[in-house]
């Protein structure tokens, strides 16, 4: 998955998230409160700016329009946006301060959150500037995201109208889908949007349910249909936390999507990740159902991170691969990231390579011997083109995807990576295994990459062979049987 050339515009309530991290070792003698010894401070874009940050980390070209104050937090937010490569369409107001949320954290837990904010709609002149900036940036965009945190930008003004209506109309005139991350129970301002992405609490509020009400599946589907009809919305993507998501679309049965099962560290900002990923996929041209599946995967990654943290494209692709038919097949860049993770856990890396065209007991013996030499086994697999150059036009018997799938199914194999060269030397250079393994039909001096591995302190191991096991002999026997 990649998003080069995709552009998305975000409009909404921007804020600056400020974190103070420390350690708690005692209770204050002045009051029964913990004393945090401050170790670190940092800031990141928050609210609508976090949605934009998620888009930027996916490789999407993103522009952000919002309202900020002429204050220290506003300048800090502008610096953060520039560092992320996000187009700055902020309107600066002399009448309000920039929303800032300060979280005090110790031992991985939030002790306190301090909110500095003014919840008022934009002044008429501010609203006009915001609208102008949106209209300037809409051409060439694949999607428009309205990120409503209820802080003012998308609220109804003194004249009873919201900025939502004109920008939704302008986007629809250009055929640009509008996606809304909603706030509150008044959704009429989102009329005409292609998709609204409430969580369960926001959905219940918009439906007028009492606190604690838990509709069953049939009631939920009826409520979703009524919401869509009442507010002129094409579809709803309901995010349900550990229960996954539900997509309600016109003229199609609801699609229920299981949650990507991960350990939850922090749900802060997960909604931003969902709408950013959904918008990126829709802008890329994926259908809504496929886009929702990808967004669900991204949400699973986001909640596994502490604090408000975006999901990088490499993390998304890794998670998608883990959900795919062959999660052990890696591209080289993704494998290198995985190797870093394994090495942080002090795992030793074993590497072997080959064509593995027709798996036989000799291959299985080799894999077992490799797996016994370390904690993680990476297998370099010759691509189809590489096999043809080495073995001739009649090979491989099985294509590279089939060979990779069979290898990945073997106990002890942790990663399979294809290489297109005639030898795995460059792959070995990048992987830097602790142990390089080949069969005992080689000598250490003739093993490709042996000198390199030994130079940096690794070792070379020659695995024992099983007599009579050879893919070439199997192919010859198959040929003679057919004749």
**Binding-site entries for ATP:** 199-202
| Tokens encoding 341 | 């993770």
What does the alpha-carbon distance between residue 473 and residue 483 come to, in Å, rounded to a whole number?
A: 15
What residues have CB less than 8 Å from 160, skipping those under 6 apart? none
What does the alpha-carbon distance between residue 472 and residue 483 come to, in Å, rounded to a whole number?
A: 17
Asked if residues 400 and 315 have their Cβ atoms less than 8 Å apart, the reply is no
SS3 assignment, position 108: coil
Is 441 tagged catalytic?
no
Burial class (CB in 10 A: 0-12, 13-18, 19+), 291: buried
**Binding-site entries:** 199-202
What does the alpha-carbon distance between residue 147 and residue 305 come to, in Å, rounded to a whole number?
A: 21
Give the full edge-to-edge strand order of the sheet including 376-382.
Answer: 329-330, 415-419, 376-382, 349-354, 435-439, 459-463
What residues have CB less than 8 Å from 222, skipping those under 6 apart? none
The strand ranges marked E within 187-324 are 195-196, 236-239, 245-248, 255-257
Half-sphere exposure of 146 (CA within 13 A, CB side): 36
Strands 245-248 and 255-257: antiparallel
| Tokens encoding 478 | 């198959």
Catalytic residue among 266, 272, 414, 434: 272
| Tokens encoding 334 | 């993704």
User: What are the DSSP calls for 454-469, one per residue?
Assistant: HHTT-EEEEEPPPTT-
Asked if residues 464 and 441 have their Cβ atoms less than 8 Å apart, the reply is no
What does the alpha-carbon distance between residue 452 and residue 459 come to, in Å, rounded to a whole number?
A: 10
What does the alpha-carbon distance between residue 245 and residue 247 come to, in Å, rounded to a whole number?
A: 7
Neighbours of 343 (CB within 10 A): 14
* Residues that are catalytic: 272
């Amino acid at each position: 998955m990649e998003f080069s050339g995709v552009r998305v515009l975000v409009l909404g309530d921007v804020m600056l998230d400020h974190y103070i991290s420390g350690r708690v070792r005692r209770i204050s003698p002045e009051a029964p409160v913990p004393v945090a010894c401050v170790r670190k401070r940092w800031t990141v874009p928050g609210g609508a700016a976090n949605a934009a940050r998620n888009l930027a980390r996916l490789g999407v070209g993103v522009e952000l329009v919002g309202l900020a104050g002429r204050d220290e937090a506003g300048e800090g937010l502008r610096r953060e946006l520039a560092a992320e490569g996000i187009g700055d369409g902020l309107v600066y107001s002399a009448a309000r301060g920039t929303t800032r949320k300060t979280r005090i954290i110790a031992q991985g837990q939030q002790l306190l959150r301090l909110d500095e904010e003014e919840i008022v709609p934009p002044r008429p002149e501010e609203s006009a500037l915001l609208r102008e900036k949106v209209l300037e940036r809409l051409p060439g965009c694949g999607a428009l995201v309205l990120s409503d945190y209820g802080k003012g930008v998308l609220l109804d003004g003194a004249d009873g109208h919201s900025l939502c209506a004109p920008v939704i109309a302008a986007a629809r005139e250009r055929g640009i889908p509008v996606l809304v991350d909603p706030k509150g129970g008044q959704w009429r301002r989102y009329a005409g949007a292609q998709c609204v992405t409430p969580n369960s609490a926001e959905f219940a509020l918009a439906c007028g349910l009492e606190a604690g009400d838990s509709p069953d599946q049939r009631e939920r589907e009826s409520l979703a249909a009524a919401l869509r009809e009442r507010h002129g919305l094409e579809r709803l993507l309901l995010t349900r936390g550990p229960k996954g998501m539900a997509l309600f679309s016109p003229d199609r049965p609801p699609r229920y999507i299981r949650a990507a099962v991960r350990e939850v560290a922090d749900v802060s900002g997960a909604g931003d990740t969902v709408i950013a990923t959904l918008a990126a996929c829709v802008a890329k041209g994926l259908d809504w159902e496929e886009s929702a599946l990808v967004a669900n995967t991204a949400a699973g990654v986001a909640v596994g991170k502490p604090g408000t943290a975006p999901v990088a494209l490499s993390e998304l692709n890794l998670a998608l691969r883990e959900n795919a038919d062959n999660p052990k097949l890696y591209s080289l860049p993704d494998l290198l990231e995985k190797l870093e993770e394994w090495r942080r856990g002090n795992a030793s890396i074993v590497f072997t390579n080959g064509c593995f065209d027709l798996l036989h007991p000799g291959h299985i013996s080799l894999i077992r011997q490799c797996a016994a030499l370390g904690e993680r086994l990476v297998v370099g697999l010759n691509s189809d083109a590489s096999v043809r150059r080495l073995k001739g036009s009649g090979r491989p018997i099985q294509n590279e995807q089939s060979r990779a799938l069979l290898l990945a199914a073997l106990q002890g194999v942790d990663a399979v990576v294809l290489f297109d060269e005639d030898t795995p030397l460059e792959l070995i250079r990048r992987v830097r295994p602790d142990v390089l393994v080949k069969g005992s039909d080689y000598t250490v001096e003739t093993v490709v990459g042996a000198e390199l591995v030994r130079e940096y302190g690794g070792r070379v191991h020659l695995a024992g062979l099983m007599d009579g096991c050879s893919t070439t002999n199997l192919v010859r026997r198959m040929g003679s049987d057919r004749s």
